[in-house]
Amino acid sequence: MQILKHKTNIDFISKRKPALFISTLINLAIIVGIAAVGFNFGVDFAGGTVVELKYNTPTTAEQVREKAQAGGLHDVSVQGVGAAEENSFLLRMGGVTQLTEENAERAKTAIQGLGETRNVYADMANGIVNFRSTQPMSPEAVKKAVEGAGIGVQEVRDLGANQGGTGYDYQVVASGMADKVFAALGAGLDKPNFEQRRVDYVGPQVGKQLRNRGIMALLYSMVAILIYVAFRFDFKFGPGALLAMVHDVIMVAGYYLVSRREFNLTSIAALLTIVGYSVNDTIVIYDRIREDMVKYKGKALPEIINIAVNDTLGRTILTSGVTALSLIGLLIFGVGEIFDFAMAMLVGILVGTYSSVYIASPLVIWLDERAHAREGHSGAKQEPKTA
Amino acid sequence: MDRGWWWKFGMIVAVTLGTLWFLVPTYYSLVVLDRNERNNIAVLEQRLPAWAPPAKYRLNLGLDLQGGIHMVMRVDTKTALQKRTERRGQQIATYVNDKKLGEVTADTDPERLQLTLTAKDPATMDAIQKEVLATFTDFSLESRNGGTLVLKPDEGQVNRFRDEAVDQAMLVIRRRIDKWGVAEVDVRKLGTDSIQISLPGRSNPEQAKELVGTTAQLEFRMVDDTNPQVFAQMYQQNPPPAESKITLVEDEGFPQLSSPNREALLAYAKDKTPEGRDVVTECVANPVKKNDCIAYRSYLLDKNVPLTGESLSGADASVSQMNEPEVNIAFDPAGAREFEKLTEAAVGRRMAIVLDDNVHTAPRINEKIGGGRARITMGRAGARSFEEWLGEAQTLALVLKAGALPAPVTVGEIRQVGATLGDELIKKGSLAALVGLALVVVFMAIYYRKSGLIADVALLLNGLLILAGLAFFNATLTLPGIAGFVLTLGIAVDANVLINERIREELSHGKSARAAVDQGYDRAFWTIFDAHVTTLIAGFILFFTGTGPVRGFATTLIVGLLASLFTSIVVTRVITTYFVHGRNAQSVSV
């Protein structure tokens, strides 16, 4: 069997300018979109709490939302997971602990009502209120007072007398949001009528750390791949491979931007896989270009590239097709993150194939022309233009 | 067939058999064993046939696939550093006043961790500055403004302190989780100030958070030695049930109860404990794996707690003049008075150092100890090496400090997956992978005929190699890992496509079957190599910078790419060579 019955002879290179123009336009639009609208960051990066519940009885997202609001949870988003008869819901909240700006103020007032206190300050990131009291206090009393103000307390830590002898230090640790969710949804029931399937808390600092590490991983791998390509091939191949990579990553980022699917650690994995795939595809075509440059010494570079791209076209289509085929299972049976991953990969495979032909290869011509032009300026003899 | 071919063929057969052999523990742990015994390495070890590889070489399922809790706790080193700076400031002030250099007050800037010394008489500041900087070398001068001196803690000291705080927290967390009796816990350091904890099979994140997140409780309690035979009598009058595995052992002349099961030991002793006393256990550490307890031993302690860790101001391990490791501890003034009173009344008795309800050590009090400084000598080296004793002393110092200097831990991240969701995900995930694999296998066989079948054989071996490789590295299979598995199979197929397309091309140029195959492989080799290496680079960077699920994905990718290089370049070529050269075929089926 054969996909392309006859040897193709498509003139890819002559269409490079409109292709580059359109690609650049889309890329810029995505970058502007990311800057203006931003991703739909998952808890991995944004921080916060996600709770997945499965109800034993038929329930709608609307009912869950009403119940949550009745229980005092106002900034919760409720979303159904899977088929309607599964009765599974994803609840998302911004905070990790019950300490919000507003709650912290109430906690402070409650603590100050207990006696002479100083240095009352809230560590919002960790959900802790620190304070120093002139008299020793009973942690139970502190806990009761703060809970009286409507904030769940996990623990009151007695840090002991301060060394200067000026007081006693305490920390009030607020409970997690998941606690509040279960309390709100289970209110008025002997036994909750739902099963807690998944709970994710990610603190805001950790989220920021994870995000930075993800971005750094992306940059590092691009640089490493650039070095490898420049070393294995020629310098003029490097930038093309890099640009194609950047192009593909932006396109897949565009998928996450437009689809509003959650951008999380798995998305970073998807972007990185695309980097690998994109360069994989580019290398195969570069290899052929290099081989043909030796084979057809007299021909101009654009012509050689056309021959190389056409010769490898069968394999390019086939490889993309087969890799896409291996993703079909994930697309059909994958849920949540895995589905998103497969979808992003599919987008990546398509743009990766396109970019190896239309982005990576033309850039080699451009760099080659520039190299010749420079030689022409510095050298005495003018080389014939290759384009 | 030439010799070289037979060598290669033999190697492939050996690799295939080795791969299957390596997957035996994985097969037993995932298929043969009950789900609730999946993580029990001892049971697995028993069930495994004698010829199988050790049970530790098995593929673990990630918490996202089997259910459990993954936590990242952040050690609040900032609070600990603030406290430390405050304490040092107080020491400096006392030192200056004692030396009659002048009178200073110390203030700490909690944000920048700086220490400000203000002299009552600015004229004395020159002398104070000189003396303080010479004595307290862990501080350097930040700025000086008349009668105020701003000191900055030394970077190296701060880092060491931070590391120590994280080590202390890890030690405490480890002990607490052991108390909970969770098998296969994994506690490890993550970055500079975080600790990662995996609790397979657990489902209550709030309880886990509470268990791990509370500050350590250190107590000094007296051992009741009035009746040294108390445990021996208990054992004889009321023999414990066999399943509790309680035995009577003797340690330095004191009979103790010992059992590998802490709960059983405590349950047995509970209603037999004399009034006003508590039975508290000591962990007998595994000599190989320091953080594991192989048994728990009983101590009878007085119920009242005369002194807690709050009275401690410091602890350090050192080596005495007799060349014995020792731990020096210091109490704050109130603690020092209490300690003196306590030791005076209890000369000759043993005092237990209890951290989180675990007896850490119970040294004998040799004399009344005044002045707020005490020394716990670790004794002579004996059967254990000096390093081991010193290590013990350092651990004890850490334990004491953990109680003395609370570096609170807070939740950075908790991910909990219920067992049913985990089961569902593994079912869907493996189904997805199998469907993807089946589609590719069928497609290749149709498109490339015999060569396609050869590629399929290589592909299946590739899949097995990935699993065996993951088992060898004791890696964990996560949901993104399954996605990585599928992707690598795609890349492996790409390599075969490249080769087969090349062979077709060579054939279309009118080359003979042999020449086409040889040239096809030779030409495709570097392309495949470059393509794999570049993806491998991405994989390695992902592995070193990623955490959790991303890392699982990277591991699968790396193992998969290496396997793919082997199968697509070596395995398919050996088989194809057999059909083309060995059979002396005139055509090649691609």
A212 contact B CB<8A: no
Above pLDDT 70, what percent of chain A? 93
Which chain A residues are Cβ-neighbours of B448 within 8 angstroms?
A: 1
Q: With an 8 Å Cβ cutoff, is B530 touching chain A?
A: yes
Beta strands B351-355 and B218-222 are antiparallel
pLDDT at B384: 62
> What is the per-residue pLDDT for A337?
73
Spatial CB neighbours of A243, under 8 Å, sequence gap ≥ 6: A359, A360, A363
Contact A334 B429 (CB under 8 A): yes
What per-residue confidence (pLDDT) applies to B404?
53
Contacts of A202 in chain B (CB under 8 A): 412-413
pLDDT(A383) > 50: no
Flag whether residue B546 sits within 8 Å of chain A, measured between CB atoms. Answer: yes
Partner B contacted by A176 (CB < 8 A): yes
How close is the nearest chain A Cα to the Cα of B248, in Å? 39
Closest-CA residue in chain B for A312? B501
pLDDT tens for each residue of A60-94: 888 888 888 887 777 788 888 777 788 888 888 87
Minimum-distance CB partner of B546 among A176, A217, A276: A217
In B, minimum Cα distance to A290 occurs at B527
Q: Compute the nearest-CA separation of A378 from chain B (Å).
A: 35
Residues of B whose CB is below 8 A from A328: 435-436, 439
C-alpha A134/C-alpha B103 separation (Å) is 24
Contact A342 B526 (CB under 8 A): no
Q: What is the H or E stretch that residue B259 is in? A: strand B254-259
- Closest chain B CA to residue A329: B432
CB–CB contact A157 B406 (8 Å):
yes
From chain B, pick out residues whose CB is under 8 angstroms from the CB of A314.
Answer: 501
| Nearest in space to B353 (alpha carbons), one of B340, B343, B363 | B363
Least confident of B169-183, B430-444, B479-493: B169-183
Question: Do residue A1 and residue B547 have CB atoms under 8 angstroms apart?
Answer: no
Q: Which two tokens stand for residue A362?
A: 């033309």
Whether B539 and A276 lie within 8 Å, measured CB to CB:
yes
Task: For residue range B472-484, list pLDDT tens digits in order.
Answer: 988 888 777 877 7
Task: Give the 3-state secondary structure of B174-243.
Answer: HHHHHHHCCCCCEEEEECCCEEEEEEECCCCHHHHHHHHHCCCCEEEEEECCCCCCHHHHHHHHCCCCHH
* Residue A150 banded pLDDT, cuts 50, 70, 90: confident
Q: Which chain B residues are within 8 Å of A287, Cβ to Cβ? A: 526-527, 530
Q: How far is B209 from chain A (nearest CA, A)?
A: 9
- Average pLDDT taken over every residue of chain B: 82
pLDDT at B11 over 90: yes
A179 touches chain B (CB under 8 A): yes
Nearest to A327, CA basis, from B554, B484, B495, B436: B436
Query: How much is the average pLDDT of B273-285?
Result: 84
Per the CB < 8 Å rule, is B421 touching A159?
no
Alpha-carbon distance of A12 to B585, in angstroms, equals 39
Least trusted range by pLDDT, from A22-31, A38-47, B257-266, B396-405: B396-405
Q: What's the confidence (pLDDT) of residue A329?
A: 84
The region of weakest confidence among A96-100, A160-164, B306-310, B575-579 is A160-164
Nearest to B436 among A197, A220, A328 (CB): A328
Judging contacts by C-beta atoms under 8 Å, the chain A residues touching residue B436 are: 325-330
Residue of A218, A273, A292 to mutate when probing chain B, most B C-beta within 10 A: A273
A326 with B541: Cβ contact below 8 A: no
Tell me whether B432 touches chain A (CB under 8 Å): yes
Q: Which chain B residue lies closest to A311 (C-alpha atoms)?
A: B505
Grade residue A386 by pLDDT with cuts at 50, 70 and 90: very low
By the CB < 8 Å criterion, does A317 face chain B? no
* SS3 (DSSP) at B390: helix
Asked if B194 lies within 8 A of A176 by C-beta distance, the reply is no
Q: Report the pLDDT value the prediction gives residue B7, as an integer from 0 to 100.
A: 92
What is the pLDDT, as a whole number, of residue B549? 65
Q: What is the pLDDT of residues A89-141, one digit of tens each?
A: 888 887 777 777 788 888 888 888 888 887 787 777 667 888 888 888 888 88
Tell me, what's the pLDDT at B381? 43
**For testing contact with chain A, the best of B91, B487, B590 (most A CBs within 10 A):** B487
B435 contacts in chain A (CB < 8 Å): 328-329, 332-333
For residue B363, the tally of other CB atoms under 10 A from its CB is 18
Inform me whether the C-beta atom of residue A319 falls under 8 Å from chain B C-beta atoms.
Answer: yes
Considering only A251-255, A328-332, B426-430, which range has the smallest mean pLDDT?
B426-430
| Interchain CB contact of B526 with A (< 8 Å) | yes
* pLDDT score at B262: 84
**Of chain B residues 402-421, which have a CB less than 8 A from chain A?**
406, 408, 410-418, 420-421
Q: Residue A306 and residue A10: Cα distance in Å, rounded?
A: 7
Strands annotated E in B358-461 = 358-361, 373-377, 409-417
Residues of chain A contacting B539 with CB distance shorter than 8 Å: 276
B493 and A323 within 8 Å at the Cβ level: the answer is yes
Between residues 108 and 137 of chain A, which touch chain B (CB distance below 8 Å)? Answer: 126-128, 130
Cα–Cα nearest to B299, from B358, B218, B347, B344: B358
Closest CA to B492 of B446, B460, B449, B539: B460
Long-range Cβ contacts of B320-323 (<8 Å, 24+ apart): B320/B375, B320/B377, B323/B386
Q: Say which amino acid occupies B438.
A: A
> Would you state the pLDDT for residue B182?
61
Question: Quick check: B31 contacting A, CB < 8 Å?
Answer: no
- Coil, helix or strand for B384? coil
Partner-chain contact A221 B541, CB within 8 Å: yes
- Which pLDDT belongs to residue B424? 80
**Residue B168 CA to chain centroid, in angstroms?**
14
Provide mean pLDDT across the span B500-515: 89
pLDDT of residue A247: 93
| pLDDT bracket for residue B284 (50, 70, 90) | confident
Report yes or no: B228 and B197 within 8 Å, Cβ to Cβ: no
Lowest mean pLDDT across B408-412, B457-461, B551-555: B408-412
Q: Which positions ≥6 away from A190 have C-beta within 8 Å?
A: none
pLDDT at A380 over 70: no
Work out the percent of chain B whose per-residue pLDDT is above 70.
Answer: 93
A-chain CB neighbours of B214 within 8 Å are: 155, 157
pLDDT tens, position by position, A259-305: 998 888 778 878 877 887 888 888 888 888 988 989 898 888 889 99
CB contact under 8 A, A333 and B494: no
Is 70 exceeded by the pLDDT of residue A6?
no
pLDDT given for residue A385 in this prediction: 44
Q: For residue A381, give how far its alpha carbon lies from the nearest alpha carbon of chain B (Å).
A: 36
Residue A384: the pLDDT is: 46
Q: Which of A162, A176, A268 sits opposite B206 (nearest CB)?
A: A176
Interface contact flag, B498 A162, Cβ < 8 Å: no
A273 touches chain B (CB under 8 A): yes
Residue B81: list chain A partners with CB under 8 A.
Answer: none
pLDDT the model gives residue A5? 63
Q: Which residues of A touch B415 (CB under 8 A)?
A: 198-201
The answer to whether the Cβ–Cβ distance between A269 and B547 falls below 8 Å is no
Res B289 pLDDT > 70: no
Q: Which of A127, A178, A318 sits opposite B205 (nearest CB)?
A: A178
Contact between A163 and B90 using a beta-carbon 8 Å cutoff:
yes
pLDDT-derived band at A27 (thresholds 50, 70, 90) equals very high
> Does pLDDT of B382 surpass 60?
no
Residue B487 touches chain A, beta carbons under 8 Å: yes
- Please check the confidence at residue A197 and state whether its pLDDT lies above 70: yes
Residue to substitute from A172, A292, A330, interface B, most B β-carbons within 10 A: A330
Q: What is the pLDDT of residue A104?
A: 84
ipTM: 0.77
